[in-house]
Amino acid sequence: MDHAEAAALLIFPTMESVDLPENREIADQFHRYIGEVFRRNFEGEWYNVPECDDPQRTHGFGPVVRRPFNELYLTVISQLTTAMHRRTGTEWSRIFEFSAEDYTSWQNAGRPPLSEWMKIRDED
């Protein structure tokens, strides 16, 4: 994830540059990459949640990944723009590590349905 984020930081000098028309295709490729990494590693599923579209884009398309152990969608558009705003080079790997910890805990608990998992998780 850090290598991909480093590449994005080179391509997009500012958060605003992500939304430029000439960068739309490469931004989309990063969105897909981020989503696929989380989908494949954490049994995620792609969804279109228009409310999750970036307000600056307002295309009515909000690609997200739903993970079976987290009630919050992973919004891929905001993952790219946040990383370009913070410019740490480690945003994506940090989120990945948190997801990996949550995923492992969920698996160790027997992979309960989300509603049950939320109760178990919140008790800890």
pLDDT in tens, 15-68: 999 989 999 899 999 999 999 999 999 999 999 987 776 666 556 778 999 999
Name the band, by pLDDT with cuts 50, 70 and 90, for residue 74: very high
Rounded average pLDDT over 6-17: 95
- Distance CA(26)–CA(45), nearest Å, equals 22
- Quote the mean pLDDT of the chain: 92
- Distance separating alpha carbons of residues 120 and 86, to the nearest angstrom: 33
pLDDT of 58: 52
Structural domain boundaries of the chain? 2-123
Long-range contacts of 36-44 (CB under 8 A, 24+ apart): 37/1, 37/92, 37/96, 38/65, 38/67, 38/74, 38/96, 38/99, 39/65, 41/96, 41/99, 41/100, 41/103, 42/67, 42/68, 42/69, 42/99, 42/100, 42/103, 43/67, 43/68, 43/103, 44/68, 44/74
Radius of gyration of the chain (CA): 15
pLDDT for the residue 92? 97
Please give the backbone phi and psi of residue 55, each rounded to the nearest 5 degrees, phi first: -55, -25
* pLDDT at residue 55 in the model: 61
| Residue 6 scores a pLDDT above 90 | yes
pLDDT of res. 3: 97
